[in-house]
Amino acid sequence: MLTGVLAVQGLGVILPNNLRISRELRETAPGTGRIDGLNRQNMRLAGLPGILQVAIILVMARLVMG
């Protein structure tokens, strides 16, 4: 469940935003407002994988401890 959320978030949200930013940067006059907005969204979403990874560690520790 947790790894599925991580995969969907990474491949479904963060990766497409990074590709949009890359495409925007290649233009002759990149739209800094659009780049800034996409980058801010990525920064907000980057905290969730860290929280979920800690949750995975806690679940694994709970399984080991019985």
If you average pLDDT over every residue of the chain, what do you get? Answer: 90
**How does residue 33 score in pLDDT terms, banded at 50, 70 and 90?**
very high
Residue 8 pLDDT more than 80?
Answer: yes
Residue 47 pLDDT more than 80?
Answer: yes
Residue 38 pLDDT more than 90?
Answer: yes
CA distances from 15 to 18, 27, 55, 66 (A): 5, 19, 23, 37
Segment 53-63 shows an average pLDDT of 92
CA distances from 52 to 28, 57, 62 (A): 39, 9, 15
Does the pTM exceed 0.85?
no
DSSP assigned state of 31? -
Assign residue 28 a region (left: φ > 0; alpha: ψ between -120 and 50; beta: otherwise): alpha
